[in-house]
Structure 1
Amino acid sequence: MRILKPIQVLSALIFAAALLIPPTLAHAATLNWSGLDARFYDGPIPPPGTTIESVPLDPALSLTGAGPAYRVLYSTVDQHDQPAVSTGAVFLPPGPAPEGGFPVIAWAHGTVGLGDDCTPSALPRSPRDDEYLSHWLNQGYAVVASDYAGLGTPGLMSYLNSVTTAHGVVDSVIAAHDMGLPLSPEWAIVGQSQGGGAAVASARWATEFSAGTRLDYRGVVATGTPANIDNFVRQAGPALELPELGPVANAYTAYILAAFREARPDLDINSVLTPEGLAAAERAETVCVRPLTDELADLNPAAFFSAPLSSIPGMADALYEYMGTPSTGFDRPLFLGVGLLDRDVPPASTLAFYDQLVANNQNVTLRIYPE
């Protein structure tokens, strides 16, 4: 097994970033909690980044390239700035650790849904994710994969919430280092789709949120990144015009509405929704992305609204606070990958974000994949 030097982490991530471009949809499968079912956890919550419990991950849920693997329950912070818990999985390479421990990749998963039935660590990984993450295990990296708070734990997962997902990802890495495993303090972040946004947000706050832990954050790879989505969402209404994203756009819209109204009940999102929009948001709280896409296939996002979302006072600021993409303050390199055939995240969104980063003198590399 070959171990890359710490300074090679970001270069190695860039080498395989193209593998992340295709979207991943959740499968219908039997949930397997590996003996750690935290859906109704009501115990004490220690400071963020603390491991509350860990168990061996059922081998049926592990990665092809993994040695020891664990399911972990850890503490974090939720969308209401309150103590919360999240679950995740930790995968170690096979064989002994090098001196100083295995460097770590924090994997930020893409859109799977908001309900407990969609919890990644309780389901088999997709073949694509298995192949991709096993690549890093074979190179000598441990993989820490947060489920995000609310997936398999109390509360609703706060879809596309920048700060909350950053807490979840960073706290998962801190918690993994709280398990007594042979892990290096050096770590990087990789994310795709929803996870691309989570990865960028986590990169912005990685050093701040891990202060005092002696972790050494090195950089981020984000592909299919839904950047500056708040600018688009605030235009939502009966006259909404979308790029051609296919029926999955209905599911994405429903997830945003469900999560945003839960995070900001003071805004009364329901007041601008049609009966179809209300029903879609309700279903979005529990139904995973593939079946929800099928359920809503005959609709379009404009049909969800009886009035413009912007008609609610304070909406623009609230959306930015909830899902705004940071474009300054990064203290380590960023790599952005854009697939021009991406039907889930408009490429123009990520390209505009790249221009922002360049204008703000951030250390960013862009790679465009035409196919």
Structure 2
Amino acid sequence: MAATTILVAGCSSTAPQTRTAPNDDGTAVKTFEPVFTGAAQLGPPDLVDDGPGSLVSVEVMHGSEELEDANATYARIVYRSTSGVDDSPTEVSGVVAIPPGQPPKGGWPIISFGHGTTGVLNKCAPSRFPTLPGNGFMMQAMVLNGFAVTMTDYQGLGVPGYYHPFLDSKTFGNNMIDAVRAARRVGADLSNQWVAFGHSLGGMAAWAAADRAGVYGQGLDLKGSLAMAPAADMAGMADAAWNGTLTADQRVALVFALQSLAWSHPDLDLDRYRRGYTAEHWDQLLDCLPPNIDDILAVRSKMTNSDLKPETPADRDRLHDLLAQMALPQNKLTTPLLVIYGTEDTLVDLPWFESAVNRACAQGDRLQIEKSIGQGHSDLDSTYGLPWLRDRLTGETVPDSCPGQS
């Protein structure tokens, strides 16, 4: 789930099963038709267009061994959301998974799950693959713990016509929140209580969901968020590119960030930030579906820091400012947040991350901070993550790790 993760196709030949039922006005509404024994029977989805969080479409899926072993019903959804760059309306895809059996009183609580980096191209959406490569086991664990799961692809991944605003916390927070609203319309008995969870880019998305909940999450009851190794503030990549200190993971992340910024800021000249081998193989570096996974890893391994040095100090400063504008925190939290990070992270540099945490503490956020000495980006211990999220549903007090708090 780290920034260097490659999304690999694992498509099933089994066609999704759907049926239609008439609305009161006679129009057809697509509903779930369970494709394996034990899945929940779901009613017709609410396809009324009333803005962010409303459903555009629902398409039942089949092919994830992990979710089917858990007897979950799951579907690809397209829903409406809001760009964090210009506040324009958008459409975003994702996946919703519903546990089998009888929901608890008030409906299944929801986890909004933020997946790690898969790329910045439209074809890099996890929901495009019935097997949900890299995400099935996590979603299975959430379902088995009594949660309905909604996993957004994030804007620009999966729905044509939109660009992917890589690292833009406002957009990611909006997408995570609206995925919960959309999940509650698929025809299942779901609660308005929810939690957010993610790792790496998904960790940033989970933190961003908490950051945006007070200003964008009206009508929902966020109980807490867990962000593991979150890419909360990556503005330091600009200085690292200038100083020639980027790690291999950061070089990949910077390529994605530069391409995304060029889409949102058409006046940004990419050639002031790339040269040599990196410039010549730019399209291959952006690809997320090579014929062989080793091919793209080989291309990425040949990048050098000199290929990514900004042309002038002014170019460096502009890149720093653009990345800082997208970073966390942006709003005061209204709910608990647990952040877990390692001191040997090769993507999210320790001083960059701790600066974001310090700013959050300074504005009065309630953070439980778990610093893992000697651990890196992808080897963090997450065994207590789901129990911590379940505890949020009971209202148990969360310790505040910020200096001067208890």
Per the normalisation by structure 1, the TM-score is 0.80
Question: Is the deviation greater in 232-241 or in 140-149?
Answer: 232-241
- The offset of 1:58, in angstroms, is 1.6
| CA deviation after TM superposition for structure 1 residue 325, in Å | 1.3
Residue number in structure 2 paired with 1:167? 174
1:71 aligned to which of 67, 76, 96: 76
Aligned residue-pair number? 336
CA gap 1:239/1:200 in 2 versus in 1, 3 angstroms: same
Asked if 1:185 is matched to 2:192, the reply is yes
The amino acid that maps onto 1:99 is K
Q: Does 1:96 align with 2:102?
A: yes
Shift, 1:196, TM fit:
1.0
Matches within 5 A, 1:97-136: 97-123=103-129, 124-126=131-133, 129-136=135-142
Deviation at 1:59, TM superposition (A): 3.5
The CA deviation at 1:172 is 0.9
3-state secondary structure, aligned to 1:235: helix
Residue identity matched to 1:337: I
1:194 aligns with 2:201: yes
Deviations 1:239-275 (A, max 9, x none): 4323xx4x33332121111111111113334334325
Deviations 1:137-193 (A, max 9, x none): 112111100011211111332111111111211111111112232100000110100
CA distance in 1, matches of 2:167, 2:3: 16
Task: Identify the range of structure 1 (343-352 vs 250-259) with the bigger mean alpha-carbon deviation.
Answer: 343-352
Contact 1:49 1:174 in 2 (8 A): yes
Identity %: 23
Cα gap change, 1:328 to 1:166, in 2 (>3 Å): closer
Query: Whole-Å Cα distance in 2 between the matches of residues 311 and 102 of structure 1?
Result: 49
Please state if 1:176 is matched with 2:183: yes
SS for the counterpart of 1:196 is helix
1:54 aligns with 2:58: yes
Q: Structure 1 residues 170 and 364, CA, compared in 2 at 3 Å: closer, same or farther? A: same
Q: Counterpart in 1 of 2:31?
A: none
* 1:281-329 deviation line (CA, Å, top 9, x unaligned): 44444435965443121122331235146437755443322x2211641
Post-superposition shift, 1:27?
4.2
Decide whether the 8 Å contact of 1:224 with 1:338 is kept in 2: yes
Contact 1:106 1:173 in 2 (8 A): yes
- Separation in structure 2 between the aligned mates of residue 122 and residue 32 of structure 1, nearest angstrom: 11
Which residue in the other structure is 1:264 paired with?
Answer: 265
Q: Does the 8 A contact of 2:8 with 2:133 survive in 1?
A: no
For 1:220-231, list aligned pairs within 5 A.
220-230=225-235
Aligned residue number for residue 24 of structure 2: none
CA deviations over 1:126-145 (Å, ceiling 9, x no partner): 56x43333222112111100
Greater RCO (Cα-Cα under 8 Å, separation 6 or more): 1
In the aligned structure 2, how far is the partner of 1:24 from the partner of 1:282?
16
- Cα separation, partners in 2 of 1:346 and 1:73, compared to 1, 3 Å: same
2:368 aligned residue (355, 359, 365): 365
Does residue 84 in structure 1 map to residue 85 in structure 2?
Answer: no
1:169-318 equivalences in 2 (<5 Å) = 169-211=176-218, 214-230=219-235, 232-235=236-239, 237=241, 239-242=243-246, 245=247, 247-287=248-288, 292-305=296-309, 307-308=311-312, 310-311=314-315, 314-318=318-322
Is the partner of 1:174 in helix, strand or coil?
Answer: helix
Structure 1 unpaired stretches of 5+: 1-19, 37-43
Unaligned runs of at least 5 residues, structure 2: 18-47, 376-406
SS in structure 1 opposite 2:267? helix
Q: 1:45–1:85: 8 Å Cα contact kept in structure 2?
A: no
User: What's the counterpart of residue 335 of structure 2?
Assistant: 332
